[in-house]
Chain A
Amino acid sequence: MAVAQNQQTVSIGSGPSWISRAVGARSKVQTHKALWGYAFSLPWIIGLIVFWGGPILASLYFGFTEYGITSAPKWIGLANYSKAFNADNLFWSSLERTFTFAAIYVPVAIVGALLLAVMLNQKLMGTNVYRTIFFVPHLIPAVALAVVWTYLLQPTLGPVNAFLRNLGVENPPAWFTARDSALYSVTMINIWAAVGGNTMLIFLAGLQGVPQELYDAASIDGGGVWAKFRHVTLPLLTPTIFFNVVLAVIGALKVFTTAWVATQGGPSYATWFFALHIYNQAFLYFHMGYGSALAWVLAAILIVFTSFQVVYSRRWVHYEGA
């Protein structure tokens, strides 16, 4: 590997060779280095083409076809999209359920995580222990999470309802097994698992980055606990809040595993989220064309939401030094 030693061979008189120009280099040494650069990034270039670029184009195309995987895709124009919008009852209802889930999950998980982080930032004894306990639910694989909560929330024999009856609640909820409570139960266990997880850790790091001088200055101005939180902590934390909200929205719109395992989308479609609908169409019925169209509807919603948040963020996110 002693190739790098030929540094003296830069030909000044003649122009760079076509290969140097192609890789954007001005000398032989630079050309040599650039070629190594390509070589090192080659695995990812191949990965991008095979697992990203190719699939994106293919799924755009499948969205306009009828494709049952065993036969060739058949072009049907916009039929999949018009079927989704006009003829598929579960399309609109699963979208609505997914939005209901997100409308509860995102604010509760964000505010909850922020409160937990503020609590852990109070220099209490044993903070590391609490942080770890809060974090454990986030480490449970989603399937185990759903299985465990199915037993905890079992309406007749489960410990949660036994506890509620002891408190004097005569008719505790039937949780996953009733049409009117299943959606909220799935939302609840997702919040339980997420609130002490990464979101909280990111808030905690953000809180620890707030300079103590600002709190001292606020104290001198007579600011109480709430005033400090409202006028020092919150403004400085807006970039972190923004980052966490964007991630939470993306996560919420893709909710799948907990509902799939705990309720299989039921009872009578009460937890049939949009991602379940895609999975069902594509991988149980092998409607690859229709499934692709549904996936692009989800992608479009996510793109619109995220760009809206980025644009709107300029009005409330405060970047220090900006």
Chain B
Amino acid sequence: MAPITAQQPMSIRFSPGRSVLYLAILSLCVLFGFPVFWTLMSSFKTPAEMAAFPPVVIPDVFQWDNYHRVLVISRLPVAQWVLNSTIVVTLTTLGTLITASVVAYSFARFDYRGRDALFMITLATLMLPPEVTLIPQFVLFYKLGWINTLKPLWVPSWFGGGAFAIFLMRQFFLSLPRDLDEAALIDGAGYFRIFWSILLPLCKPVMATLGIITLIGSWSDFIGPLIYLNTPTKFTVSVGLQFFNNSPEVGGESLRHLLMAACILSMIPTIALFFLGQRYFVQGIVMSGIKG
């Protein structure tokens, strides 16, 4: 294009090209933002507005009561689903953070026979589709009598939290100077003390990252709860939402507007968490991408 134009400073200036770019970005924002906005607005509608044609985007009067109704009054145990999801998500996140950091500490700081082989096997589990282990795991939990309980959803996370979690934590431990450990060892600290009082406090950023990623994944999980839970009071939010979607009319009353409120409820934790911990979240994704 232009011949040698010595060092054009990168500045924020308006040019036809940039205006087109802004226009494109704004229309993309509408494309990505509108569905969520529409759902949010629908969650405040009356059943009549929900069924109106042409569609009503913004309701006349915001029915704040919809949220109260979906959680408390509706005949579906939505509040119970939120509670079940909260239990699963809390236990899964705790289990992953605690056990993945201990295992990663072992991989990063100790020398023992088989350690590298064990680490390679750990990475190899990332390649295998979960479908392969899903059926035998179901059989295992069936034999244990855990079907229709929340246990199959969180117990596995207490055994290392999975390859991704261990890998992420290990990379972080490797970046911490070994002098810290050695100084503490000379001062008479044991290995667990070193882990718990010296290294772990330094791991806060990576634990925030791992915590957010685990939490979002666990909250959104669908296949697990779909397979293991079969009575509505045991459901988590995702399967509950699917159940709700399949029965939008309870007792002859259309509950579609309440379904929209339930959808918003299901999005709040993940979106809120992303906003609160955006920095940590983005870092974690980027780390996994670059190291991969």
A interface list, Cβ under 8 A from B: 1-5, 22-25, 30, 33-41, 43-48, 50-52, 54-56, 58-59, 62, 69, 116, 119, 122-125, 130, 132-137, 139-144, 146-152, 156-159, 162, 192, 196, 198, 201-202, 205-206, 209, 216, 219-220, 222, 224-225, 240, 243-244, 250, 253-254, 256-257, 260-261, 275, 278-279, 282-283, 288, 291-292, 295-296, 298-299, 302-303, 306
Q: What are some 15 contacts across the A-B interface (CB < 8 A)?
A: A24-B112, A24-B114, A48-B125, A51-B159, A52-B133, A55-B137, A124-B25, A139-B267, A143-B239, A144-B39, A148-B36, A202-B289, A261-B222, A295-B134, A296-B132
Known: A41-B107, A243-B292, A303-B127. A225 touches B1 (CB 8 A): yes
CA distance A245 to B160 in the complex (A): 28
A33 CB contacts on chain B under 8 angstroms: 110-111, 191
Q: How far is the CA of A192 from the CA of B35 in the complex (A)?
A: 10
Measured in the bound complex, the distance between the Cα atoms of B237 and A113 in whole Å is: 29
Please classify how large the interface on chain B is, using the bins under 10, 10 to 19, 20 to 34, 35 or more: 35 or more
Q: Is the interface of B mostly helix, strand, loop or mixed?
A: helix
- Chain A: which residue is nearest B190 at the CB level? A1
When C-beta atoms are compared, the residue in chain B nearest to A258 turns out to be B222
Residues of B close to A48: CB separation below 8 A: 118, 121-122, 125, 160
| Contact, CB under 8 Å: A222 / B4 | yes
Q: Which residue of A lies closest to B24 (CB)?
A: A119
Q: Interface 1/0s, chain B 26-48, versus A by CB < 8 A?
A: 00110111011011001000000
B contact set with A: CB distance below 8 Å: 1-5, 7-8, 10, 12, 18, 21-22, 24-25, 28-29, 31-33, 35-36, 38-39, 42, 51-55, 57, 99, 102-103, 105-107, 109-115, 118, 121-122, 125, 127-140, 142, 156, 158-160, 166, 185, 188-193, 195, 216, 219-220, 222-223, 226-227, 237-239, 241-242, 245, 256, 259-260, 263, 266-267, 270-271, 274-275, 278, 282, 285-286, 289-290, 292
Q: Report Cα–Cα, A58/B134, bound state, in Å.
A: 11
Residue from the list B7, B105, B237, B285 in contact with A216, Cβ < 8 A: B7
Q: Select one of A134, A141, A244, A279 contacting B238, CB under 8 A.
A: A141
B135 close to A133 (CB less than 8 A) = no
